[in-house]
Every structure is written in structure tokens, then in C-alpha cells.
Amino acid sequence: MLAFIGGTGLTRMDNLRIVDKHAITTRFGEPSAPVVEGELDGQRVLFLARHGDPHVLLPHQVNYRANMVALKEAGATAIVAANAVGGITTLAPTGALVLPDQIIDYTWGRESTLFDDPADPLVHVDFSWPFDTALRDALKARLAASDLKWSDGGCYGATQGPRLETAAEIARMERDGCDIVGMTGMPEAVLARELGIPYAMLSLVVNPGAGKSTHEITMEEIEAVIHDGMANVCQLLAEFASD
């Protein structure tokens, strides 16, 4: 079953007809919220609010391991994760969607593997291409058929937060090759890989990264973009579910 993870601005999918809510406790503890099972354009899908419902968990407080294991236990066979990001390069103007194809992880101190028991087999998952190709291709086809502004590919830099970056940090990330910056892509993406679940990310650019505009980044500015942008994401995901 296709599952969606909603980030900032997507705590609930208004177009989802809720059929069930699975309160799942995993060996890593509680996920951010119950896994919602519902119908989107007539298709059965799962939905999880990454930051809880209501949105209370900061990026470093999210129990990513419990979230991903709960989705697997609820029957997720593919995951599309939506998130709000800052834009760094010209392929990521404010308001556009990015379908990243790479990740650089700058987070620290997060529980970032499911294999933490000495009794577990020693597994080093391949993560050369962190997103699932077939799932990305399907999303690409859906985006190409829409009139939304979007980019195919880009490198997602995952920062620790919850503060935004300094201008120097964003400049360094640009030199490293990052196109967008967010706080939740890791360890979520690698946990999906460890679980063997195809995973792709759909990122909405909600502000220029630090130092990329002449003004300070305000929550008001971000929320204004999120409002319309996430409504578009909801619509697109519904169409995607019924493809």
C-alpha cells in the first residue's frame, strides 16, 4: 500500500477519507501519530504526520525509527515523503517543488539505524542512490502532467535544526553540492532503505536559504508559501495515488 508522510504544513490531508487509525507501538517506541488509513480519490493509502497531529515535534525530536517501522507494520510498500525546504541553488526557487535524487547528511545525534542490537546481522545497506528510481519516475510523470513548477533532481542537505542555518553554512552546503536544505530527510530516507521500502521525497521550497535573499527568513513568509504549496502537494499526491 502506498504511504505518504506529511511534514510541516501537511499534518492532515484534507482530501483523505479516513477509514481507520492504527495506533502502533514499535520496538523503538511510539510513532509521531497513529498511522491513518484512508481513501484518496478512491485508492487505499496510509498517511503519517511526521511532526505529530497536532504538529508538536521538532525535527530532532521525531522518532524516525518508530515512524518508519509503524508504516511498515501498517502495510506500507512504498513511501512518498513531503517536506518543506529552503532553496539554495537556482533549481529551487521559492514556491517550486523539487524531486531530489541525492542527500548529504549534516545531522548529528539522531538514532539513524534499525540495526543497533549486537545480535543483529551486520548490514551496511547500499545508499548510493538514496531514492527509489521507479517511484521517482512515477512522480516525475505525474509532475510533468501538472502545471506546477518543479525540478527533476537535486541534492537535499539534511541539517539538525531546529534553528535555521547561517549564511556561511548555506554557502558551504552550496559548495558541497546541495540544492535544497531541510531538517527531516535524514534519517528517514535511510531507515526506509534499511526496511527495504521504496522511498521518494517531494520537497516544497518555502524560503530562500540563509544569505540567499536580502531579508531575514520569517515564519510568516514560510507559512504564506506553505499554505498554497501544500494544497498543491495534496492534490498532486491524490492524483498520484490513482495513477
In the complex, which residues of this chain contact ligand HPA (CB under 6 A)? Answer: 84-86, 159, 164-165, 181-183, 206-207, 209
Q: Is the dihedral of CA 158, 180, 170, 209 positive or negative?
A: negative
Rounded to the nearest 10 degrees, how much is the dihedral formed by the CA atoms of 111, 113, 116, 119? 170
Q: Are 101 and 178 in contact (CB under 8 A)?
A: no
Smaller CB separation from ligand HPA, 46 or 85: 85
| Gap between the Cα atoms of 237 and 4, Å rounded | 8
Question: Is the omega angle on the peptide bond into residue 198 within 30 degrees of 0, that is, cis?
Answer: no
Question: If you compute the radius of gyration of the chain from its CA atoms, what whole number of angstroms results?
Answer: 17
Smaller CB separation from ligand HPA, 221 or 239: 221
**Least Å distance between CB 221 and ligand HPA?**
10
**Least Å distance between CB 10 and ligand HPA?**
13
Smaller CB separation from ligand HPA, 154 or 182: 182
**Least Å distance between CB 50 and ligand HPA?**
12
Smaller CB separation from ligand HPA, 13 or 181: 181
| Gap between the Cα atoms of 176 and 224, Å rounded | 29
**Least Å distance between CB 48 and ligand HPA?**
19
Smaller CB separation from ligand HPA, 17 or 149: 149
| Gap between the Cα atoms of 166 and 60, Å rounded | 18
Q: Residue with the closest Cβ to ligand HPA?
A: 86
Smaller CB separation from ligand HPA, 97 or 206: 206
Q: Are 185 and 106 in contact (CB under 8 A)?
A: no
DSSP for residue 34: P
**Least Å distance between CB 84 and ligand HPA?**
5
| CA distances to 7, 135, 149, 169, 208 from 91, in Å | 21, 21, 10, 19, 11
| Gap between the Cα atoms of 66 and 115, Å rounded | 13
**Least Å distance between CB 106 and ligand HPA?**
10
**Least Å distance between CB 164 and ligand HPA?**
5
Smaller CB separation from ligand HPA, 181 or 236: 181
